[in-house]
Structure 1
Amino acid sequence: MLFAIDIGHNCPPDTGAVSGKYKEDELAKKVGESVIALLKNRGHKAVSVTPRNASSVNSSLRQRASKANSIGADYFISIHFNSFSKQTAHGTELYVYNYRSRAKNLARLVLNNIVSLGFRNRGIKYNSFAVLAQTSMPAMLIECCFISSDIDMRIFDAQAMAIAIVNGLIGEDKKEENISGVLKVLETTYTKPSTEQSEDLAAEYLYKITPGEYRGKLVAEEEGHYAVEFLQQIGDRKVHYIFSKHCEFIDD
């Protein structure tokens, strides 16, 4: 299957939102490049359709849709981040062209996977965005979360977001069955939504875990942390990060 991956903005004068230290361009690029790599690693074709230069925002948008159409992509996936003037807005929402869109069901799977990371579900919405209206294949635009929201940015992790998107698009990687096993927790610690320090996260995002053995699947290893999907759900997240010095993962 061939996916056209539109890494939102990243083509001056088509630039993304900025909120404090967060830039939409930078986060969309991190997630988008990881999505492309994951899709390729799992046997699919994935091509970035983000243009290198454009004379205007409209030109940038036209080029993205035109490239997706020209390569005969099966699906068009546009990756963005939201921003709002007030921090009360937070969560994930996806857009398709209209209620008849062939991408609607797939978009719901992607949304559900992202929401399982702990983000608020803002639903599937309809809009005639140029990249949705001008593409000839099923297309969706993903607003991963709000860069203007402390709630969202405490949860956000680029690799976990990319994994959630890819699992929504093509299902969970069957190869992950080969890395199921037991997480042996050596001392009382916390599971987290990302690799950030516990003291930098609000208490509601932390789950205490006591010494013992917990079955699950190793999703990733990042920055001195294990990302684990536990067999027995802990809290309302699907994937939890745990400092590797407090535990060890033993493969079956």
Structure 2
Amino acid sequence: MKLLPTFLVLVGLCLFSSFILPQDDRSAPPRQPFKLVVLDPGHGGRDAGAVGRKANEKDIALAVALKLGKKIEDEMPGVKVIYTRKTDVFIPLYERPALANKHNADLFISIHCNAAATRRSPARGTETLVCGYNRLGQQDAAIRENASILLEDNYEENYGGFDPKDPSSMIVFQLMKNQHRRESIKLASLMQDKFTTSGRPDRGVKEQSLAVLATAGMPAVLTELGFMSSSIEEDYMLSTAGQKEMVQNLFDAIKTYKTSVER
């Protein structure tokens, strides 16, 4: 008797994915409680990142990540933060999203600072990056792993007898990958919106082929806080007031995102 509900669910998922999914996420797997954010301060250790007149990218990224994580845990009850690094150490790129996958994180946020090719460049502002289409195939293994975890709890109730070990569950994995992409863009857009409330120049949401995002089995973004090649922006990113403002912008974006996914 379970075959009919399973068949109907899978047919429904295909139809929603093909015709409704961009406007209506009812075909996506049921949302789980928002509990865990992985913060990834870019670079570290022997990898300084962009070098400014007074500081290195790795130090600003770490300072902002630690302050953001504390604010999340202080002001978002029930949400835990894990850091890919909490000190000045070098962490290989592949280990960063792997940590998020291991803990089945709800979000992976990599924090960086930008730099222009020359200090004479007028480039300023913030931008937030999501994984380019050509990298999406690398998410499959992580999504399969995370999906099996997500579907273990109450999967019969959620899917009318759907078996996560059934080969046809790849339909659900594909839906999850598409959903992660949409959610990444949503979070990136929220971050850019919040940065603009502080008067920061908005360089937009961009797609790039980034290894640090490619294997994350959840919504993942890389945000560039500003340009180390600009003395004005470097001073801002180093200042107590500037870091407080950037942390508030990022916190507000995450909080708004959390509210939207828990509706």
Q: TM-score, normalised by structure 2?
A: 0.59
Question: Are 1:94 and 2:128 matched, yes or no?
Answer: yes
Alignment correspondent of 2:24: none
Question: Are 1:158 and 2:218 matched, yes or no?
Answer: no
Please state how far the C-alpha of 1:154 moved relative to its aligned partner. 5.1
Contact 1:51–1:64 (CA<8 Å) still a contact in 2? no
Contact 1:118–1:155 (CA<8 Å) still a contact in 2? no
Q: What do the CA deviations read for 1:131-176 (whole angstroms, capped 9, x no partner)? A: 110111110000011121134245441111011101011139xxxx
Please state how far the C-alpha of 1:111 moved relative to its aligned partner. 1.0
Question: Are 1:28 and 2:61 matched, yes or no?
Answer: yes
Q: What do the CA deviations read for 1:195-216 (whole angstroms, capped 9, x no partner)? A: xxxxxxxxxxxxxxxxxxxxxx
Q: TM-score, normalised by structure 1?
A: 0.62
- The residue correspondences of 1:218-229 to structure 2 (distance < 5 A) are none
Partner Cα distance (1:25, 1:63) in 2? 17
Alignment correspondent of 2:254: 169
> Secondary structure, in 3 states, of the residue corresponding to 1:95?
strand
RMSD of aligned Cα (Å): 2.3
Please state how far the C-alpha of 1:119 moved relative to its aligned partner. 1.2
Q: What do the CA deviations read for 1:58-84 (whole angstroms, capped 9, x no partner)? A: x61011111111011000000000111
Please state how far the C-alpha of 1:125 moved relative to its aligned partner. 0.3
Alignment correspondent of 1:61: 93
More strand by share: 1
> Secondary structure, in 3 states, of the residue corresponding to 1:171?
helix
Question: Are 1:137 and 2:200 matched, yes or no?
Answer: no
Q: Work out which structure has the larger RCO, using CA pairs closer than 8 Å and 6 or more positions apart in sequence.
A: 2
Alignment correspondent of 1:75: 107
Please state how far the C-alpha of 1:98 moved relative to its aligned partner. 3.3
Contact 1:31–1:162 (CA<8 Å) still a contact in 2? yes
Matched to 2:64, the amino acid is: V
Q: What number of residue pairs does the alignment pair up?
A: 169
More helix by share: 2
Question: Are 1:107 and 2:188 matched, yes or no?
Answer: yes
Matched to 2:112, the amino acid is: H
Alignment correspondent of 1:187: none
Partner Cα distance (1:116, 1:60) in 2? 34
Alignment correspondent of 2:51: 18
Partner Cα distance (2:235, 2:194) in 1? 18
Comparing 134-143 with 43-52, greater Cα deviation is found at 43-52
Q: Which has the larger radius of gyration?
A: 2
Please state how far the C-alpha of 1:51 moved relative to its aligned partner. 8.0
Matched to 2:132, the amino acid is: N
Partner Cα distance (2:248, 2:86) in 1? 24
Contact 2:111–2:223 (CA<8 Å) still a contact in 1? yes
Contact 2:62–2:86 (CA<8 Å) still a contact in 1? no
> Secondary structure, in 3 states, of the residue corresponding to 2:229?
coil
Alignment correspondent of 1:120: 201
Contact 1:17–1:83 (CA<8 Å) still a contact in 2? yes
Partner Cα distance (1:154, 1:21) in 2? 8
Partner Cα distance (1:60, 1:140) in 2? 17
The 4+ residue runs of structure 1 with deviation greater than 3 A are 51-54, 153-156
Partner Cα distance (2:93, 2:57) in 1? 16
Partner Cα distance (1:116, 1:98) in 2? 27
> Secondary structure, in 3 states, of the residue corresponding to 2:132?
coil
- Once the two structures are aligned, what percentage of the paired residues are identical? 32
